[in-house]
Copies of this chain bind each other. A is one copy, B any other.
Amino acid sequence: MQVSKCDIENCFLCIHCMPEWRDAISVKKTTYSFKRGETIFAEGDAVKGIYFIYEGFVKVHKQWVDNKELIIRFAKAGDVLGHRALVDNDIYPISATTLEDCKACFITNDFLEATFKTNPSFTYKMMQLYAAELKKAERRMRNLAHMDVKGRIAELLLEMQEIFGLNKDKFIAVAITRQDIASYAGSTYETVFKFFTELLQEKIITTSGKSIKINNAKKLRGFVNN
C-alpha cells in the first residue's frame, strides 16, 4: 500500500515518509488511534517497538510513590515515543498517555534495527533527535533543582504556548488539568491552584474550563527569573 508523504514539516520518520517502511508494511496495520486519556504504553511494559505521533498530543510521564508522578515532557505530531527503550530492549522506563485523540504509527524493534543497519542517514537523524532531547532534559533538570515552584509553573505555561500553539480564541490549543501542571512542575494540585488564582486576579492569564490563555507573557516571565 503506497501513500504520499504526511504533512508534518520535515518529517523523516513516520511510516508515510520512510521509503523502507512505506514499501514494506501496510500503513493500516501500523497506524493506531488512541482516545483522549488512553495509555499508549505504561512504565514496565515490555518494549516491542517505537511510536511516531502524527496527530494529537501526548504526555510522557514517570511514576513516583502511589499517586505522585513527574511529567517528563509533552509530545505532539512529529515527535517520537518509546525510543529511550532502544538501548536495552527490555521494559519502558516511562509511560505515555494521550491528552487529545491521537494517531501514531508503530514500528517494531526488528524493523527499526533493520533500518538502522541499512539507512545511516536515518540513524544520524535519530541521533540528533536524542541529542536535542538530552539538551532539553539537562536544562529542565537544572530548573527543577534550583527554580522555585512559581517559576516552574510559569515556564511551563510559556512552553505550552510554544509547543501546542493557540486555537482560534487565542487559548493554548490543549486543555490541561491542574493536576498535570503540578505533575510537570514537580508540585501539588493545591499549590498550582493558589498560584493560578493569583495569576487570574492580576489578569496575567485567563481560563475557560481547562483551557488557558496567556494575556501578559512579560509578567509571567517575571516569575521565571525569580
- A contacts, CB < 8 Å to B: 62, 64-65, 68, 70, 72, 83-84, 86-87, 93-94, 116-117, 120, 123-124, 126-128, 130-135, 137-142, 144-146, 186
Contact = CB atoms under 8 A, between A and B. Distances in A.
A117 B116 CA distance: 13
Contact of A126 (B65, B127, B142): B127
| Chain A contact residues: helix, strand, loop or mixed | helix
Nearest to A142: B70
Contacts of A127: 86, 116, 123, 126-127, 130
Given A123-B120, A139-B93, A141-B141, A131 B84 contact: yes
A62 B87 CA distance: 26
A137 B134 contact: yes
Copies in the complex: 2
A128 B86 contact: yes
Nearest to A130: B130
Contact of A144 (B124, B134, B144): B144
Contacts of A128: 86-87
A93 B138 CA distance: 9
B87 A138 contact: no
Contacts of A70: 141-142, 145-146
Contacts of A94: 138
Contacts of A86: 127-128, 131
18 contacts: A62-B142, A68-B146, A70-B141, A70-B142, A72-B141, A83-B131, A84-B135, A86-B128, A86-B131, A87-B131, A87-B135, A93-B138, A116-B124, A116-B127, A134-B134, A137-B138, A141-B141, A145-B186
A146 B64 contact: yes
